[in-house]
Amino acid sequence: MLMSSRVAAFDHWIRTSFVQMNTELENLYFMQEDRAQVIGVGDAVKQALRAEGHVHVVELLAEGNTGDGFDSAFEVLGNVGLYLGALRRHELTNPVREERSPFVEASSLALHVGASLGMAPRFSTAHLATRNKAVAGVRKSFTSLPDEFLFIDENTRGIMSLQRAADALTQIVHLGVSSPVADIQFAVARDALNDVLRFNQRLFDQLDVQRFFYSVRPYYKPYRVGRQEYRGANAGDFSGINEIDLLLGLCQANNPYYAQLLVDKMLFMLPSDQARLRDCMMRVSLLDELLALAPQHSGADWFQRNARSFIEVCDLFGQTAVQHHNALVTRFIEEPARSVVPDHLPGITASGPPLPVLLRALEVLRDLRAAADRADIPTRHADLARLRACLNRG
Ligand code: HEM
């Protein structure tokens, strides 16, 4: 369906002038001795960004729900979200200083569209990743810095690979873990997870730490829409990762910590992802299925084959989680944060909690996914060991 001309005009602005102004501001910040100093720098550009975006927002708000369907509304939600994310990044708003967003029209537009779609009223990962439509090769972004494109592209590749693994595991649920046909799905999941490891490694090798930390990451900070503060987007806001957690059985929806995480991220995902996640929460995991079959059938060929493939997939998934935390989070967040003047530290993470709190939460996820030997959280270490013990040598 064709987008309204106002929707298209806003989209064009977001893909052109908006990107140019953000890039100009980033270069100004970046050449300072203190790269985290944003207030008072590039004020004329900031005001132009604010004013130009405002014109588009007011027109769209007046137009109301254009009835153009999901794609168009999703586009508007992303664009108004990118605009608000940039205003936050340039310190034209800061949830700590305010009780409500100073951008009344942009908030109204985001709330209207977000509520009608069933999503949080802010831009989400899908806007910049799996639903980021390239126009003549150019993806939507905040800036035209090569490091931002590298980040967006590799994130998207990682997300799509995890989705591929999740799709394959979902098919095994329908086949039953004893089915001989599960072999091809285990192979798809294995290959997809190897791809994730490769893309993460590329990010680790190629992304510039300083540019990422000072010029890309700040666009993912929390901001207010209306009265309420919404956490930032992160590459985890898609259902595939949790589908893998739940279907493998490494994380369990009856664990209150994990269930809370799922509830919190629901509205940051596409409605189609929300539905997939809900469905997964009602399934029996492959690990539980295999453990239930083990006492009677562990000697059978099908059991040996499928349990081996299952363990291989679990191990690879654990490796991706360890790599995300020990390589990416450490190199691109934890290490550079150490050199930031304490005044500028709040607001470094996308979700908002202080960095040590966030890091501990991410460690819990890493260890659940890696089935680490920890007594303080419900990992599946012992259960996986039981399953491993069922495998014949050789
Ligand atoms: C430079 C690269 C990356 C860095 C520094 C990074 C860092 C982070 C941080 C700090 C969080 C916590 C959210 C927050 O800030 O509030 C997070 C969450 C998450 N990230 Fe990344 N990330 C990177 C790339 C990726 C990639 C490529 C993927 C995979 C597609 C990914 C998947 C996730 C997931 C799934 C979560 C949600 C928490 C979880 O379920 O584990 N990240 N990331």
pLDDT tens string 289-334? 999 999 999 999 999 999 999 999 999 999 999 999 999 999 999 9
Ligand 1 and 141: CB distance under 6 A: no
**Nearest alpha carbon, ligand 1 atom 1:** 328
pLDDT score recorded for residue 347? 59
Ligand 1 and 38: CB distance under 6 A: no
Ligand 1 and 287: CB distance under 6 A: no
Query: Cα separations (Å) of 388 from 185, 188, 239, 384?
Result: 20, 21, 28, 6
Q: Is the pLDDT of residue 213 over 50?
A: yes
pLDDT score recorded for residue 348? 60
What distance in angstroms lies between residue 6's CA and the mean position of ligand 1's atoms?
Answer: 34
Least confident of 153-162, 346-355, 360-369: 346-355
**Nearest alpha carbon, ligand 1 atom 36:** 236
Arithmetic mean of pLDDT, 37-62: 96
**pLDDT over 70 percentage in the chain:** 95
Q: What stretches of the chain show up as alpha helix (H) in DSSP?
A: 5-15, 17-30, 43-63, 70-89, 104-117, 125-128, 146-175, 182-206, 209-211, 239-248, 256-265, 271-281, 286-297, 301-322, 335-337, 355-369, 381-390
301-322 and 355-369 are packed helices; what angle lies between their axes, rounded to 10 degrees? 160
Ligand 1 and 161: CB distance under 6 A: no
Ligand 1 and 193: CB distance under 6 A: no
Taking the CA of residue 332 as reference, the ligand 1 atom at the shortest distance is 5
**pLDDT over 90 percentage in the chain:** 89
Ligand 1 and 235: CB distance under 6 A: yes
Q: Which residues pair with 223 in a beta bridge?
A: 230
Q: Is the pLDDT of residue 2 over 60?
A: no
pLDDT score recorded for residue 63? 85
pLDDT score recorded for residue 71? 83
Ligand 1 and 158: CB distance under 6 A: yes
Extract the tokens encoding 116.
């009608």
Distance in angstroms (rounded) separating the CA atoms of residues 169 and 201: 24
Decide if 250 contacts 310 (C-beta within 8 A).
no
pLDDT tens string 14-35? 999 999 999 999 999 999 999 9
Q: What SS3 state is found at 224?
A: strand
What distance in angstroms lies between residue 199's CA and the mean position of ligand 1's atoms?
Answer: 13
Arithmetic mean of pLDDT, 357-366: 95
Out of 245, 258, 328, mutate this one to test ligand 1's pocket (max ligand atoms within 8 Å of CB): namely: 328
Distance in angstroms (rounded) separating the CA atoms of residues 373 and 191: 26
* pTM of the complete model: 0.95
Decide if 72 contacts 4 (C-beta within 8 A).
yes
Taking the CA of residue 352 as reference, the ligand 1 atom at the shortest distance is 16
Q: Is the pLDDT of residue 230 over 50?
A: yes
What distance in angstroms lies between residue 192's CA and the mean position of ligand 1's atoms?
Answer: 18
Q: Is the pLDDT of residue 58 over 90?
A: yes
pLDDT score recorded for residue 101? 98
Count Cβ atoms below 10 Å from residue 169 Cβ, excluding itself: 28
pLDDT score recorded for residue 42? 98
pLDDT score recorded for residue 1? 40
Arithmetic mean of pLDDT, 62-66: 76
Ligand 1 and 350: CB distance under 6 A: yes
**Nearest alpha carbon, ligand 1 atom 38:** 236
Extract the tokens encoding 138.
């150019």
Least confident of 77-81, 205-209, 290-294, 356-360: 356-360
Confidence of residue 173 (pLDDT cuts 50, 70, 90): very high
Confidence of residue 339 (pLDDT cuts 50, 70, 90): confident
From 226, 229, 253, select the one nearest 239 (Cα to Cα): 253
Count Cβ atoms below 10 Å from residue 68 Cβ, excluding itself: 15
